[in-house]
Chains A and B, each alone.
Chain A
Amino acid sequence: MSNSFVELNDVKLRYSEGDDLALETTNMKIDKGEFIAVVGPSGCGKSSLLKLVSGLMPPSEGSVIVDGKEVAGPLKIVGMAFQNPTLLPWRTTLDNVLLPMEIVKPHRHRLRKYRAEYEERARKLLATVGLEGHEDKYPWELSGGMQQRASLCRSLIHEPELLMLDEPFGALDAFTREELWDILQNLWMIKPFTVILVTHDLREAAYLADTIYVMSKRPGKILVERENTLVRPRDQETTFTQPFTDLVHELRSHIRDVRES
């Protein structure tokens, strides 16, 4: 069966000749529109996995296939957000969010002519993350949480088929973080896109993902693949239910095993 959107076949990665493997024989199959989360100890190769899938780095062995084609260079359809918002300080929030439109085809050729429409689209997206009225501010005039919201908008504005999130909520306070879970879940439910979320927060994985992968210590390897069938939309109440807390406990015990191994 090969109708999955993202496929990793026996992928291994080492950063340089003679180095230890950073990633050990990894196999993954991600469906189109599936939301997966990857958890694992620090340094096990989660960020490297994202770089492999987005084509920023070639695997040392094995193959990565996205949308039926083997990945040979950076994909051009990916949205990315990191723990660090990486907004451009000389651009307003609105212009930061519009940055992908200046690069991604066909938008880059249409942007000048349909500027107003694109701006409207960016404003709407900013409003959904609660940044209405801050469009014309500069990133350094926003709080960390607000910058992270803007960064999330920037990763979504061009409606990417594949969204890569590397601990995007890691530096936020608990309230903001959970609010952003809901916003992300909503956007995803309206128009599903494929998401790979790397996180240290097991509750976050349980809240957002359809499938959760637990990785081993370096060299990273997928030890557990856990379906998460909790009904959507998940909300605050979900986090207090037995199935949710059981799932989190289960993940925690996997992580404990990994760390002790």
Chain B
Amino acid sequence: MKKKLNLRKATPWLSAIGLFVLWELVVRIFNIPPYVLPTPSESIIVGWQFHEAIWMHAYHTLYTTLAGFAIAVVFGVVLGALVGSSRAIYDAANPLLVGFNSVPKVALVPVLVMWFGIGTVPAIITAFLISFFPIVVNVATGLATLEPELRDVLRSLGATRRDILIKVGFPRAMPYFFASLKVAITLAFVGSVISETVASNVGVGYLMLSASSKFNMPLVFAGLLVIAVMGIAMYEIFNVIERRSTKWANRGNPTN
């Protein structure tokens, strides 16, 4: 039992190491030049050489991402609550939301640059724009899927719409909300890095762009790895928060 658990914990590490080994082998065996695809070891070594710059840029990207994500959470919860608790608002907002979500956000970056100039602000806004949609949808779904019988029970006790929302709607929407945070935080990274790549002079996206213009492919890949690591770390944090705060949703099953 204990052994099995340890093995499960080790699996993600093993698969990551396996991927790196495979990557290293493929590059070496086929003699792929580093300006096409560097080996992971090379990327890590170069990444270490530039670790001060990377650290600075990564910190900035993380900060930008979290700022955009935080706005998305607030905005997403409010809009989700409105959409999920009123049929009329749902009907009015749904086509707009779907339409908006279909627009590639990278196409908006030039517009944002026109409005806010180059730098952090468009990156924060892009992170926000790309990540609020799943939060809205999930919060609204959680609120809207109330069993009709339960609603009858509450209404025949004299419950107001507000009572129903507070006693049942929000608690029931919690698992949906936390599940959406995991998706949203990874999307927020996509948004901020895209914007940094197109229109910024700071952040991992900018670092990668300038590295590639100097044909420093190992540094580009070091940047990619850093983004991946930050994404995984944030995802895990929200995963843990989700499991802690909505134990009931697993019905006591010890799922991981």
Binding site for B on A (CB under 8 A): 51, 54-56, 74-78, 80, 82, 84, 86, 88-90, 99-100, 102-105, 138, 140-141, 154-155, 158, 164
Q: A56-B152, A80-B152, A86-B149 are in contact. Are A103 and B158 (CB under 8 A)?
A: yes
For A164, list chain B residues within 8 Å (CB): 156
Inter-subunit contact B248/A138 (CB<8 Å): yes
User: Bound complex: CA of A56 vs CA of B157, how far in Å?
Assistant: 11
Q: Which of B130-151 contact A (CB under 8 A)?
A: 147, 149-150
Nearest B-chain residue to A105, judged by Cβ: B158
User: Bound complex: CA of A184 vs CA of B183, how far in Å?
Assistant: 49
Binding-face segment, B66-74, B76-84, B163-171, B197-205: B163-171
Instruction: List 22 A-B pairs, Cβ < 8 Å.
Output: A56-B152, A74-B155, A75-B156, A75-B158, A76-B158, A77-B158, A84-B149, A86-B147, A86-B149, A88-B150, A88-B168, A88-B172, A89-B249, A89-B251, A90-B246, A100-B157, A103-B157, A103-B158, A138-B248, A140-B252, A141-B252, A154-B153
Interface assignment of B56: CB less than 8 Å from any CB of chain A: no
For B174, list chain A residues within 8 Å (CB): 90
Q: A74-B158, A90-B171, A103-B158 are in contact. Are A80 and B252 (CB under 8 A)?
A: no
Interface centre among A74, A84, A103, A138 (most CB of B within 10 A): A103
Inter-subunit contact A54/B150 (CB<8 Å): no
Q: A102-B167, A103-B163 are in contact. Are A80 and B248 (CB under 8 A)?
A: no
For A54, list chain B residues within 8 Å (CB): 152, 156
Distance (whole angstroms) from the CB of A165 to the closest CB of chain B = 12
User: Bound complex: CA of A240 vs CA of B251, how far in Å?
Assistant: 42
- Interchain CB contact (< 8 A) of B153 among A55, A75, A80, A102: A80
Interface assignment of B154: CB less than 8 Å from any CB of chain A: yes
Interface assignment of B159: CB less than 8 Å from any CB of chain A: yes
Overall SS of chain A's interface:
loop
Q: A99-B167, A103-B158, A103-B159 are in contact. Are A86 and B153 (CB under 8 A)?
A: yes
Q: A89-B249, A138-B248, A141-B252 are in contact. Are A51 and B152 (CB under 8 A)?
A: yes
Nearest A-chain residue to B147, judged by Cβ: A86
For A56, list chain B residues within 8 Å (CB): 152, 155-156
Overall SS of chain B's interface:
helix
Q: A90-B248, A141-B252 are in contact. Are A74 and B149 (CB under 8 A)?
A: no
Interface centre among A51, A74, A104, A154 (most CB of B within 10 A): A74
User: Bound complex: CA of A100 vs CA of B158, how far in Å?
Assistant: 9
- Interchain CB contact (< 8 A) of A103 among B150, B167, B171, B172: B167
User: Bound complex: CA of A3 vs CA of B153, how far in Å?
Assistant: 27
For B157, list chain A residues within 8 Å (CB): 76, 78, 100, 103-104, 158
For B158, list chain A residues within 8 Å (CB): 74-77, 103-105
Distance (whole angstroms) from the CB of A225 to the closest CB of chain B = 25
User: Bound complex: CA of A76 vs CA of B252, how far in Å?
Assistant: 35
User: Bound complex: CA of A144 vs CA of B152, how far in Å?
Assistant: 21
For B249, list chain A residues within 8 Å (CB): 89
For A154, list chain B residues within 8 Å (CB): 153
- Interchain CB contact (< 8 A) of A86 among B150, B155, B248: B150
Nearest 4 pairs of A and B residues by beta carbon: A76-B158, A78-B156, A140-B251, A90-B248
Distance (whole angstroms) from the CB of A213 to the closest CB of chain B = 21
For A100, list chain B residues within 8 Å (CB): 157
Interface centre among B158, B174, B248 (most CB of A within 10 A): B158
User: Bound complex: CA of A158 vs CA of B171, how far in Å?
Assistant: 23
Inter-subunit contact A103/B168 (CB<8 Å): no
For B152, list chain A residues within 8 Å (CB): 51, 54, 56, 80
User: Bound complex: CA of A154 vs CA of B157, how far in Å?
Assistant: 11
Distance (whole angstroms) from the CB of A79 to the closest CB of chain B = 8
Interface centre among B147, B152, B172, B248 (most CB of A within 10 A): B152
Distance (whole angstroms) from the CB of A11 to the closest CB of chain B = 18
Nearest A-chain residue to B151, judged by Cβ: A56
Kindly list 17 other residue pairs between chains A and B, CB separation below 8 angstroms, not including A82-B153, A84-B147, A89-B248: A54-B152, A56-B155, A75-B156, A75-B158, A86-B147, A86-B153, A90-B171, A90-B174, A90-B246, A90-B248, A103-B154, A103-B167, A104-B157, A138-B248, A140-B252, A141-B252, A158-B157
User: Bound complex: CA of A99 vs CA of B246, how far in Å?
Assistant: 20
For B248, list chain A residues within 8 Å (CB): 89-90, 138, 140
Q: Which of B222-256 contact A (CB under 8 A)?
A: 246, 248-249, 251-252
For B246, list chain A residues within 8 Å (CB): 90
